[in-house]
A and B are shown apart, each in its own frame.
Chain A
């Protein structure tokens, strides 16, 4: 079918939740790899490494974190990438077959809260780095940091806003510029820490180390939940690629692997320097010149990631029916304002409660990926009605009951309950079998099993969810 006659304004419409057409999806493997890597590589890696460093020495910590991260990335890739790349839709639309037409109330809310959280953290780091950078080049002092941090945060958000007024094109261009900066200075920081602090690192003992198996599992879990938080981000970027094949490698190696690699910096520095924040040690360890240069990297990396996050959040907002027709820049503003509020007014509170935020990521996104994977691969056999993603009414395949799929809601509840039973997100107190299985994987598994059973026993026999069409291979269903 030819789509050449569609209006030239299609590019701007492409910023909505409508399917992007192949001619609008121009990112090849390399472009997607760079965008995803820039999106993943930010200062949050240092704080992720810091939390692992509370429990594990350097190499066990790095390896446990890497294992968890790659498992988490696999789950996110399997759950979002096929649908987003086949039909050019984002993570929120990709979840409609499981959660129903009104399921966006769950997924958009989680996406919004998650991205506000992560980007607030980036802004705080950005502000701190800017203040330290000014110190390093002889401007300002500690007394000015109270002013510099919020001002830098506002300027960063203004920069992101201007970049994203161009939509995904702006995101791609800024990513290309930041790529070499991030790779080069990130490698320099790792080498510098290993060379200058190698002996101390080998002897460093984690502050909260207790039982070997439990500590090891904390490392895996922290890596895993960190990567589960890519769920809301990834669809808005992989939809720019034309097929799952283009996105598989960039997703695993571009978005997954850089997180544990960069987290090595935070893990090392918390073990030997007592802080993971590069802004507070880069000039001490690297000297004023190299320290200032590295601080520029930290700021640049955060800008890249904040840009990707705000973009994903804005695309998600446009999936909300009441907000679908507001101008792109207005939706962009709705993404930016809460981040600015938290980043400027709740700085210390949010920074001090980052571990809780991280654990809550796992609470909600682990069940979501479990539900999506079992539904897409086992129950639907990779058959999705693209029309069903958009049409409503009682006969629409994904209308379920009042637009919600009770199987997904109950499976979410079961998954969340499982996670909370195994790991308390506020105290990090655990119940067995946490030390053997962690919390995210059992939560995903329980949610998947509950979803599958309820679907087979209740939903499918009721003729809801488009499962009959999918099995029969209706012409309105495309096969993967």
Chain B
């Protein structure tokens, strides 16, 4: 790290990923659906249930 010249093997690994064909890209729309469902909707449901339903005292 910090050098402008990379070791040969690291150079090849970096060059491999610089080829756009080897970049798998970001999250797909299905991934985003899963992320929103589990990271946004599920917490919202838990919060509503916890606040309005779960309290017995």
Residues of A within 8 A of B (CB): 1, 3, 6-7, 10, 13, 18-19, 21-22, 57, 59-60, 62-64, 66-68, 70-71, 73-74, 77-78, 82, 85-88, 101-102, 104, 202, 205, 209, 212, 216, 219-220, 242-245, 248-249, 252-253, 256-257, 319, 321, 324, 382, 386-387, 390-393, 395-396, 403, 475-476, 478-480
Contact = CB atoms under 8 A, between A and B. Distances in A.
A64 B50 contact: yes
Contact of A480 (B18, B26, B54): B26
A60 B6 contact: no
Contact of A63 (B23, B26, B35, B49): B49
12 contacts: A3-B13, A6-B9, A6-B13, A67-B50, A70-B39, A209-B57, A212-B55, A245-B28, A248-B27, A252-B38, A391-B3, A479-B20
Contact of B24 (A57, A244, A257): A244
Q: What are the 10 A-B residue pairs with the smallest beta carbon separation, nearest first? A: A74-B39, A63-B50, A480-B26, A392-B2, A59-B54, A243-B24, A67-B43, A67-B46, A393-B4, A478-B23
A390 B42 CA distance: 38
A478 B30 CA distance: 22
B16 A1 contact: yes
Given A77-B35, A87-B17, A476-B18, A382 B50 contact: no
Nearest to B23: A478
Contact of B39 (A71, A393, A475, A479): A71
Interface of B: 1-4, 6, 9-10, 12-20, 22-28, 30-31, 34-35, 38-40, 42-44, 46-47, 49-51, 53-57
A87 B13 CA distance: 9
B47 A21 contact: no
Nearest to B25: A480
Contacts of B46: 63-64, 66-67, 70
Contacts of B56: 57, 59, 202
A319 B3 CA distance: 14
Contact of A249 (B2, B10, B34, B42): B34
A219 B28 CA distance: 32
Contact of A77 (B20, B22, B39): B39
Contacts of B3: 391-393
Contacts, number: 163
A57 B56 CA distance: 8
A219 to B, nearest CB: 8
A399 to B, nearest CB: 9
A157 to B, nearest CB: 29
A219 B47 CA distance: 10
B24 to A, nearest CB: 4
A73 B38 CA distance: 9
B22 A252 contact: no
Contact of B6 (A243, A248, A256, A391): A391
Contacts of B49: 59, 63
Contacts of B2: 101-102, 321, 392-393, 403
B46 to A, nearest CB: 4
Nearest to A257: B38
B9 A10 contact: yes
A249 B50 CA distance: 25
A87 B46 CA distance: 35
B18 A475 contact: yes
Contact of A68 (B1, B43, B44, B54): B43
Contacts of B1: 101, 104, 319, 321, 324, 390, 392
